[in-house]
Amino acid sequence: MSVRLGVMASGRGSNFLAIQSEIEQATLDAEIALLISDRSNAPALKQAEKRHVPAKTFPYDKSDRAAFEKSAGDAIDAAGCDYIVLAGFMRILTPYFIERFSGRILNIHPSLLPSFKGLHPQRQALEAGVKFSGCTVHLVTTDLDDGPILAQAVVPVLDDDTEESLSTRILKQEHRLYAEAIRGLSSK
Ligand code: GRF
């Protein structure tokens, strides 16, 4: 049965688009019931509009994270989502939200976790001199970039790589990997 997804994105939304494209091509049996953003100018919102995916913005006030999380959580429940897919969502979720949707939040991180958690993982990989990096889809727990790993993809790190060239190589794998991980999920 088709899995209903709530996607949360803060930026350009290429992972959101990759998932939506697989749905449209019927290579992924899912539906994006709702896209949520914390930024009213996120390019992801424009993409959602073009693809006729319902979208909502809830303003994010750092001094009142609970307000955003309550509104976003209620909207996700109202849309009947089985899972929440974080796709470039640039806010740290609090335990309130993570526990409310325990075991039902996925994240993608552009490194082979548990290596290079946090910001700029591609830069961290270059600085560490690793020969391979990649991306990881995992379930979200209250520890940052942690939680059970659902899928990983490996890419080589080349001698002349820049942060940009490595990010591009990893992103190509992210677009494939997220749908692959979602295929492994089951609906309610
Ligand atoms: C991706 O590299 C993802 O792994 C990271 O943020 C980036 C989001 O890109 N969490 P996009 O907005 O999906 O294009």
| Catalytic-role residue among 109, 120, 138, 175 | 109
Instruction: Give nearest CA residue, ligand 1 atom 2.
Output: 110
| Confidence (pLDDT) at 187 | 63
Tell me the one-letter amino acid at 60: Y
User: Which has the closest alpha carbon to 180: 47, 55, 85?
Assistant: 85
Q: Separation of 70 CA from ligand 1 center, angstroms? A: 24
DSSP strand E in the chain: where?
3-8, 30-37, 55-57, 83-86, 105-109, 132-139, 149-156
H-type helices in 60-147, by residue range? 65-78, 95-100, 121-128
User: Which has the closest alpha carbon to 44: 87, 93, 105, 108?
Assistant: 87
Q: Separation of 87 CA from ligand 1 center, angstroms? A: 6
Instruction: Give nearest CA residue, ligand 1 atom 6.
Output: 88
Q: What percent of the chain has pLDDT over 70?
A: 99
CA-based diameter of the chain, in Å?
Answer: 49
| Confidence (pLDDT) at 186 | 76
Annotated domain spans of the chain: 3-110+136-154+175-186
Q: Separation of 176 CA from ligand 1 center, angstroms? A: 13
- Which residue among 14, 20, 135, 152 has the greatest number of ligand 1 atoms within 8 angstroms of its CB, and so is best to mutate? 14
Is 3-110+136-154+175-186 assigned to CATH 3.30.70.20? Answer: no
Q: Average per-residue pLDDT in the chain? A: 97
pLDDT digits (tens, 9 = 90+) for 66-97: 999 999 999 999 999 999 999 999 999 999 99
pLDDT digits (tens, 9 = 90+) for 27-43: 999 999 999 999 999 99
- Which residue among 117, 170, 171, 175 has the greatest number of ligand 1 atoms within 8 angstroms of its CB, and so is best to mutate? 171
The secondary structure of residue 177, as a DSSP letter, is: H
- Would residue 109 show up in a list of annotated catalytic residues for this protein? yes
| Confidence (pLDDT) at 188 | 59
The secondary structure of residue 63, as a DSSP letter, is: G
User: Rounded CA gap, 152 and 8, in Å?
Assistant: 21
Residue 44 has pLDDT above 90, yes or no: yes
User: Rounded CA gap, 48 and 54, in Å?
Assistant: 7
Token pair 């609090």: residue: 94
User: Rounded CA gap, 173 and 154, in Å?
Assistant: 8
pLDDT digits (tens, 9 = 90+) for 105-129: 999 999 999 999 999 999 999 999 9
165-187 mean pLDDT: 95
Ligand 1 lining (C-beta closer than 6 Å) = 9, 11-15, 87-88, 108-110, 171, 174
Q: Are 156 and 131 contacting, i.e. CB atoms less than 8 angstroms apart?
A: yes
Q: What percent of the chain has pLDDT over 90?
A: 98
pLDDT digits (tens, 9 = 90+) for 4-26: 999 999 999 999 999 999 999 99
Q: Are 68 and 88 contacting, i.e. CB atoms less than 8 angstroms apart?
A: no
Q: Give φ, ψ of 25 to 5 degrees.
A: -85, 0
| Confidence (pLDDT) at 97 | 98
pTM of the entire structure? 0.96
